Amino acid sequence: MIPRLDLAPGQSLSRLAYGMWRIGDDPDTSARHIQAKIEACLAQGITTLDQADIYGDYSAEALLGTCLRQAPGLRGQVEIVTKCDIVAPCGRYADRRVKYYDTSPAHITASVDQSLAAMRTGMIDLLLLHRPDPLMDHHATGAALDALVASGKVRAVGVSNFRPHDTALLQSGMRARLAANQIELSLTAHEAFTNGDLAYLQERGILAMAWSPLGGGALVSGGAPRLQEALTSVAGRSGAETSAVALAWLLAHPAGILPVFGTNRLDRIKSVHSAFDVGMDRQTWFELYTAALGREVA
Ligand SMILES: NC(=O)c1ccc[n+]([C@@H]2O[C@H](COP(=O)([O-])OP(=O)(O)OC[C@H]3O[C@@H](n4cnc5c(N)ncnc54)[C@H](OP(=O)(O)O)[C@@H]3O)[C@@H](O)[C@H]2O)c1
């Protein structure tokens, strides 16, 4: 069983989360197949599912909801993370002229109600604002998030793709603690390790969730040849898959990063726990980081 990470007092997430951005791309979107994927996660102790209202053009949450209706015992075994604030001209917003962000209280509150209905659940374990909104009124947005927590519809709140100044601004307008920030973090997107973003989360005790930990597949399917070569070399020495090495690189960081992986393949889901068996000493970590930078560290 994989370890867990504390999110808030009395609330924890599994150390890996299963991302559902791509579930609608699977040729099999049946409730039965989604249940098989979730059960493959649960067998390893992966209990955290990552969603967003916009996934699948606003349809992925409903796919999960159909599964949870057919297998009602599942809801009590998982934590649901979902996100809101991106409005794209598709699905229920097909009439919009432009893609935009909306952190207004009316939008966030309505989005949460739509997510709860789509996923057929009464509570979201962790609600994230998906992208920083240049028009965010931090007092109004913060008050709306506080009210959602007080209502019991949302257990904890956080952000995604926020820089430290965005996070600090929102936190200053609310009482509930921002518990997590989901950012792009991988061997192909490693700026947060040095630009202060991750250091800020560590200093504040905010959980860092890493989206696209395999670079959206680029790290394991030919999209980043230099990195793939380094991963193959480490994988060969450790008897591991390259995907496990890429996850282990994130898991080794003292921030306690929570990778959100996104495969649709059952065999890949079933073996994802092997990332915890990969030894990642300092030299190996830097060997991969050197390949990511494309040069020796200074
Ligand atoms: N907060 C945000 O703004 C944000 C943005 C993007 C994503 N996310 C979250 O992060 C999650 C993960 O994102 P992601 O799907 O890009 O993650 P990822 O795990 O980096 O990439 C998954 C992709 O890699 C492929 N893949 C996985 N293992 C492979 C292997 N061994 N060989 C070849 N291809 C492989 C998968 O294809 P197969 O299905 O064929 O295995 C899939 O297309 C999303 O589901 C979502 O929950 C959040």
State pLDDT tens for residues 242-279: 999 999 999 999 999 999 999 999 999 999 999 999 99
Mean pLDDT of the chain: 97
Measured at the CA of 160, the angle between CA 170 and CA 172, to 5 degrees, comes to 10
| Mean pLDDT for the stretch of residues 8-34 | 97
Q: Is the CB of 268 under 6 A from ligand 1?
A: yes
**Which amino acid is residue 62, in one-letter code?**
A
Assess whether 55 carries a catalytic annotation.
Answer: yes
Cα–Cα distance measured from residue 206 to residue 74, given in angstroms and rounded to the nearest whole number: 28
The residue annotated as part of the active site, out of 55, 58, 101, 200, is: 55
Q: With a cut of 90, say whether residue 42 has pLDDT above it.
A: yes
Whether residue 160 has its Cβ less than 6 Å from ligand 1: yes
Looking at residue 144, its pLDDT comes to 98
Answering whether pTM is above 0.85, one says yes
Angle at 219 between CA 216 and CA 224, to 5 degrees: 110
Strand partners, 80: 49
Write out the E strands in 185-285: 207-211, 258-261
Comparing CA positions, the residue from 258, 239, 244 lying closest to residue 288 is 244
Span 115-161, pLDDT tens digits: 999 999 999 999 999 999 999 999 999 999 999 999 999 999 999 99
Residue from 34, 263, 269, 271 whose mutation best tests the ligand 1 pocket (most atoms within 8 A of CB): 263
10 has pLDDT over 90: yes
CB 175 within 8 A of CB 143: no
Q: What distance in angstroms lies between residue 80's CA and the mean position of ligand 1's atoms?
A: 18
What whole-number distance in Å separates Cα of residue 105 and Cα of residue 113?
Answer: 12
171 lines ligand 1 (CB under 6 A): no
User: Do the beta carbons of residue 267 and residue 274 sit within 8 Å?
Assistant: no
Please say whether the beta carbons of 24 and 56 come within 8 A. Answer: yes
Output the pLDDT for position 222.
Answer: 81
Cα–Cα separations (whole angstroms), residue 185 to 140, 149, 258: 30, 28, 10
Nearest-atom number in ligand 1 for the CA of 262 is: 15
| Bridge partner residues of 183 (DSSP) | 210
- pLDDT > 90 in the chain, percent: 99
pLDDT band at 223 (very low <50, low <70, confident <90, very high): confident
* Ligand 1 pocket member 112 (CB < 6 A): no
